[in-house]
Amino acid sequence: MRIACLHTAESNVDVFNTAAQQMNLPNASLHHEVRADLLMAAEQANGLTHDIERQTCAALSDLAHSADAVLLTCSTLGPCISSAASATATVPVIRVDSALAEEATRIGGKVIVLCAVETTLGPTTRVFADAAKRSGADVEVRLVQGAWRLFRGGEQAAYLAAIAAAADEAYHDGASVVALAQASMAGAAQLVTHASKPLTSPATALVAAMNAIVTMRHLLCEVPSNNG
């Protein structure tokens, strides 16, 4: 089983490797490609452009040639997934925030989603709202003010502490589920003092990828051969 990950931050490589190790996946299960330029371009354009979408889809398609599943780990680039999925029909291409949204809203209740960067607010709100339709969950998306400045400045400990504090506040405000929308936020889950811990995208996405691989293999095995 080979899962390829398209990241826009180098630090997410370790985040996903750690999640894979905790799930006892073999060391060679994950392949990583980092395209920080795509997120940088989206931030400069204050959103996605046709050229960013084209480059993202091309990168996802390239990864699909040598993988059983592909994960797009950047929430800002998430909307690019539909075009890429249609071009790689036999290889599942998964938005990590979509997998997170499905899990977070599965049982309904009040779901508070935390984002660290402003460019992901729109895509994250849409993907969680869509998932919530299936369970009736009440979703609120919040931006952790100042968090991305800390991340960009290399202040990782302060970045994670700010997110953990926001998660504790969300639980205090009555959230039944708190979801950390971006993969880079995952380390904050262990800093949360509330008894419940937030859901993070690396773990939920890897589970979704493995399930999608199994499903795809079953479907391919059921396709009749041309030889009858």
Query: Residue 130 is part of a domain; what is its CATH number?
Result: 3.40.50.1860
Determine the angle formed by the axes of helices 11-22 and 201-222, rounding to 10 degrees.
70
Q: How far apart are CA 179 and CA 105, in angstroms?
A: 10
- pLDDT at position 221: 77
Residue 89 and residue 175 share a domain: no
Domain boundary pick from 96, 115, 144: 96
- pLDDT at position 28: 84
193 within some domain:
yes
Domain boundary pick from 96, 127, 157: 96
- pLDDT at position 228: 46
> Which region among 1-15, 20-34, 69-83 has the lowest average model confidence (pLDDT)?
69-83
Report how many domains make up the chain: 2
118 within some domain:
yes
Comparing 19 with 226, the larger pLDDT belongs to: 19
Could you report the per-residue pLDDT of 177-218, keeping only the tens digit for each?
999 999 999 999 999 999 999 999 999 999 999 999 988 887
Q: How far apart are CA 6 and CA 36, in angstroms?
A: 10
Domain boundary pick from 96, 122, 148: 96
- pLDDT at position 219: 75
Could you report the per-residue pLDDT of 9-52, keeping only the tens digit for each?
999 999 999 999 999 998 789 999 999 999 999 999 988 899 99
160 within some domain:
yes
Check pLDDT > 70 for residue 88. no
Q: What is the identity of the amino acid at 63?
A: L
Check pLDDT > 80 for residue 68. yes
Check pLDDT > 60 for residue 87. no
Residue 31 and residue 10 share a domain: yes
pTM: 0.84
Range of the structural domain that residue 19 is part of? 3-96
Could you report the per-residue pLDDT of 105-145, keeping only the tens digit for each?
998 999 999 999 998 899 899 999 999 999 999 999 999 99
27 contacts 37 by C-beta, under 8 angstroms? no
Residues with Cβ within 8 Å of 117's Cβ and at least 6 positions away in sequence, in order, are 43, 76, 147, 148, 151, 182
Average pLDDT (75-82) is 84
